[in-house]
Amino acid sequence: MYREIYDKFLEWKNKENRKPLIVDGARQVGKTWIIKEFGKNEYKNMAYINCDKVTEIKNFFYDYDTERLIRIFSSLTSETILPKDTLIVLDEIQEVPQGLTALKYFCEDAKDYHIIVAGSLLGVSLHTGTGYPVGKVDELKMFPMTYKEFLIASGNEILVEQMKEHRWNELSMFSRKFIDLLRQYYYVGGMPEVVNRYVNRQDFNEVRIIQKRILSEYEKDFSKHVPSSELSKVSMLWNSIPSQLAKENKKFIYGLIKKGARAKEFENALQWLINAGLIHKIVRVNKLNRPLKFYEDISAFKIFILDLGLLGAMTDVTAKEVIAGENYFSEYKGVFTEQFIAQELISMDYKLYYYSKADSPLEIDFLVQKEEVYPIEVKAEENLKSKSLRIVYENNNNLKPCRFSMSGYRNQDWMVNVPLYLATEWMGSVE
């Protein structure tokens, strides 16, 4: 399956100052598949080691002699490892945290060797005696498949090529097709195994079975990796996310986890889920000026899950509701539409914020900082009322307001309305 991140792997390979590459991301987002595909296509051979299965690898990082380690990798894989010609892959590196530390020495002492490590719980696996090789590695973050990647996987490459032309008004002639495919994506989501099964079998029941299995495997990860003192808190917080998103105001409320819950009690559980790549935390800002980082209010934030399809599986939304439901996009207080926009923009490496004003209903769903600040309002239907956007623009004409909705493309004097299905393509085209 086509993944846009493949081009970033190629850029890494061809960099003059290339360093060992760390590929991070939640379980099941396709890290192993894309790395193996890259190794098969771009190198003469590949020395692949799964650190979870080749358990003896843990015994060999007692020092960081790179020549010795390369001999070990060669013996474990029966591959002759040559500089530039061989891709060395250490998968599930979280099982051997010392392997991460070793990357510093590969960067310094073995620059001609191409090495990639991948893991799913890197942010929660380091312990005393190991360290992250800051400044000595390149990094890539993987996410579930985007809507555009879903279109390509489902045989709609022509639609994607049309999107890339950026003739926004002309694309309205394909709106029914785009919306139908967007409904499918809302249900299927972007987990590669789920997408692959769906495009080959078109069976919504199988889709939901696989999604439920992935959720079950995440729960098993909790039991395996979360400290016993935090386990129940992680599970409670994780299971509270649908109810958090179902509120009109999606600000995270600890009291929805359990009555009387406080931030201090659950802050470690929250951070564990963030580090595991299972949730995204979007912080409020209290001022709409560049740089947004200056105006963060870390006490107020929203939480989104990593994948739209998994959110549907957590809430048991049916295929009939999503695919055939007349008002699906506007039901559930726009939960799935905001989730869609959040994960799409995050996959583009944008740092997202939101804005709200104390003692006021004024709220901007998302903020993206480029050359200017883009306040983004998300509408799950064709509703074109944008009172909050208008107010913030009148207070600051340097803002670039945009609204993502089910309505067609409109470039107004002060704001642009972009169809949901074109949101990320349009966002990537503006400065």
Six-digit token string for 206: 């199988």
258 pLDDT higher than 70 = yes
Q: In the numeric block, which tokens belong to residue 243? A: 């109810």
Q: Measured between alpha carbons, how far is 359 from 224 in angstroms, rounded to an integer?
A: 43
Residues 369-391: what's their mean pLDDT? Answer: 88
**Residue 31: its pLDDT value, please?**
97
Strand partners, 86: 45
How many percent of the chain have pLDDT more than 90?
82
> For the chain, how far is it from start to end, CA to CA, in angstroms?
30
Cα distances from 96 to residues 46, 57, 298, in angstroms, run 20, 8, 33
Return the closest-CA partner of residue 172 out of 424, 412, 416, 406: 406
For the residues 159-176, what does the mean pLDDT come to? Answer: 95
* pLDDT category of residue 303 using cuts at 50, 70 and 90: very high
- Using the predicted structure, report yes or no on whether residue 330 has a pLDDT greater than 60: yes
Residue 273: C-alpha distances to residues 67, 120, 304, 399 (Å): 37, 11, 11, 33
pLDDT at 224: 87
Look at residue 45 and give its three-state secondary structure.
Answer: strand
Is the confidence at residue 145, as pLDDT, over 60? yes
By C-alpha distance, which of 188, 246, 233, 249 is closest to 214? 188
In the structure encoding, which two tokens stand for residue 128, read together? 């005393």
**pLDDT bucket at 297, cuts 50 / 70 / 90:** very high
Q: How far apart (Å, rounded) are the C-alpha atoms in residues 334 and 311? A: 13
Asked whether the predicted pLDDT for residue 373 surpasses 50, the reply is yes
Domain boundaries, the chain: 6-141, 147-429
Confidence of residue 360 (pLDDT cuts 50, 70, 90): confident
For residue 126, what pLDDT is reported?
46
Please state, in angstroms and rounded to a whole number, the distance separating the CA atoms of residues 392 and 414: 11
What's residue 129's pLDDT? 47
Q: Residue 24's pLDDT band (boundaries 50, 70, 90)? A: very high
The DSSP-derived string for 92-148 is SGGG-HHHHHHHHHHHHH-TTSEEEEEES-HHHH--TT----TTS-EEEE--SPPHH
Mean pLDDT of the chain: 92
Beta carbons of 154 and 185 less than 8 angstroms apart: no
Q: How far apart are CA 212 and CA 154, in angstroms?
A: 22
- pLDDT computed for residue 331 by the predictor: 61
When pLDDT is cut at 50, 70 and 90, the band that residue 153 belongs to is very high
pLDDT by residue (tens digit) across 179-212? 999 999 999 999 999 999 999 999 999 999 999 9
Higher pLDDT among residues 260 and 327, named by residue: 260
From CA 233, how far away is CA 272, in angstroms rounded?
10
Is pLDDT above 70 for 320? yes
Residues with Cβ within 8 Å of residue 356, at least 6 apart in sequence: 249, 251, 284, 300, 362, 363, 364
pLDDT of residue 25: 94
Amino acid at 176: R
pLDDT for residue 128 is more than 50:
no
Helix (H, G, I), strand (E, B) or coil at 375: strand
What is the 3-state secondary structure of 195-219?
A: HHHHHHHCCHHHHHHHHHHHHHHHH
The one-character DSSP state at 324 is I
- Give the model's pLDDT for residue 130: 56
Supply the pLDDT for residue 332: 63
* Cα–Cα distance for residue pair 292/413, rounded to 1 Å: 24
Domain over 6-141 is classified CATH 1.20.1510: no
CA distance 8 to 14: 10
The H-or-E segment that residue 426 falls in is: helix 423-429
- The pTM of this model reads 0.94
pLDDT in tens, 260-293: 999 999 999 999 999 999 999 999 999 999 999 9
Q: pLDDT tens digits for 71-111?
A: 999 999 999 999 999 999 999 998 888 899 999 999 999 99
Question: What is the tens place of the pLDDT at every residue in 30-57?
Answer: 999 999 999 999 999 999 999 999 989 9
| Residue 125 clears pLDDT 60, i.e. is over it | no
